[in-house]
Amino acid sequence: MILTKYEHACFTLEKDGKLLLVDPGAYTTNLPALESVVAIVVTHEHADHFDPNALGAIAAHNPEVVMYAHENITRQFGDTLQHQAVAAGQTVQIGPFRLKFFGGEHAIIHPDIPAVANLGVMVNDRLYYPGDSFSLPDAPVDILALPTAAPWMRMSEAFDFLVKVKPRFAFPTHDAIASEVGKELADRMVPMFAEKIGATYLRLNEPIEIDG
Q: Provide mean pLDDT across the span 139-146.
A: 98
Q: pTM of whole model > 0.85?
A: yes
Per the model's pLDDT, the better-predicted residue between 136 and 212 turns out to be 136
Give helix 155-165 / helix 180-196 axis angle, nearest 10°: 30
Average pLDDT over residues 168-189: 97
How sure is the predictor about 212, in pLDDT bands with cuts at 50, 70 and 90?
A: low
40-87: pLDDT as tens digits: 999 999 999 999 999 999 999 999 999 999 999 999 887 778 999 999
In this prediction, residue 211 carries a pLDDT of 79
Domain 2-209 fold is: Metallo-beta-lactamase; Chain A (3.60.15)
What is the spatial order of strands in the sheet that 2-5 belongs to? 83-85, 66-69, 37-41, 18-22, 11-15, 2-5, 208-209
The structural domains of the chain, with segments of one domain joined by +, span 2-209
Q: In what order do the strands lie in the sheet with 200-201?
A: 91-94, 97-105, 117-123, 127-129, 143-147, 169-173, 200-201
Is a pLDDT exceeding 80 seen at residue 114?
A: yes
pLDDT, tens only, 99-109: 999 999 999 99
CA dist 100 → 13, 75, 150, 175 (Å): 15, 20, 24, 24
- The pLDDT score that the predictor gives to residue 166 is 98
Cα–Cα distance measured from residue 63 to residue 44, given in angstroms and rounded to the nearest whole number: 22
Give the pLDDT score at 79.
77
**Residue range 199-204: mean pLDDT, rounded:** 98
Strand, helix or coil for residue 202: coil
Per-residue pLDDT reduced to its tens digit, 12-43: 999 999 999 999 999 999 999 999 999 999 99
Alpha-carbon distance of 187 to 183, in angstroms, equals 6
- Whether the per-residue pLDDT at 89 is higher than 70: the answer is yes
DSSP letter, residue 63: T
